[in-house]
Amino acid sequence: MPFRKWELFELPSLRKTKTDVWPIKTSTNLEKPRYVIVTFQTARKDSLTADASKFDHASLTNLKLHLNADSFPYDNMNLQINENKYAAAYRMYASFQSSYYNVNNQPLLSYEKFKECALYVIDCANQKEAVKSSIVDVKLMLYLSDCWSLLVVLLKISPLTVSLYMITLLSTHRCRAL
């Protein structure tokens, strides 16, 4: 599938809390996402010394994509990446290839490398057909074990388009204790 459309959104900052909701966009039912790929980076924008091709796990404990009232994935991921408990996230990443291309899984990242270059893939292709409203609100909920300002890259793959959404946050300050 060729890239037909790119969209870029930048958000100056997220709240410095352990939970945040990013209302990404409102789209039509025809443009609702089928797959969403989320990555995190800290302190790499406009830096000549930082490697922008690397991604961080950002102490993520859970990630939810909401399309109106439906949430993906349905179950909590219960990630503890610093303790090597990220099998659910790796399984979602590894199964993307077979789901999207209809081929056997051959992930490029091993389980160990995934920790260093986390790509969180959310498969929302199997949506309920009952969701026939003409407007779809797309929201991303982030749950972190430690609050950081982050760069969030979100790749939305639709039937006819591939769109890129990005939040850029330059600060790397930890949040105050709540």
Q: Report how far residue 45's alpha carbon sits from residue 101's, in angstroms, rounded to the nearest whole number.
A: 32
Other CB atoms within 10 Å distance of the CB of residue 85: 13
pLDDT(99) > 90: no
Q: Report how far residue 160's alpha carbon sits from residue 157's, in angstroms, rounded to the nearest whole number.
A: 8
Q: Report how far residue 65's alpha carbon sits from residue 72's, in angstroms, rounded to the nearest whole number.
A: 5
Residue 163: predicted pLDDT: 44
Residue 168: predicted pLDDT: 38
Question: On the CB side of 69, how many CA atoms lie within 13 Å of its CA?
Answer: 5
Identify the residue with better confidence: 15 or 111: 111
Q: Report how far residue 89's alpha carbon sits from residue 114's, in angstroms, rounded to the nearest whole number.
A: 9
Segment 64-85, tens digit of pLDDT: 988 888 889 989 999 998 899 9
Q: Does the bond joining 73 to the residue before it have cis omega, within 30 degrees of 0?
A: yes
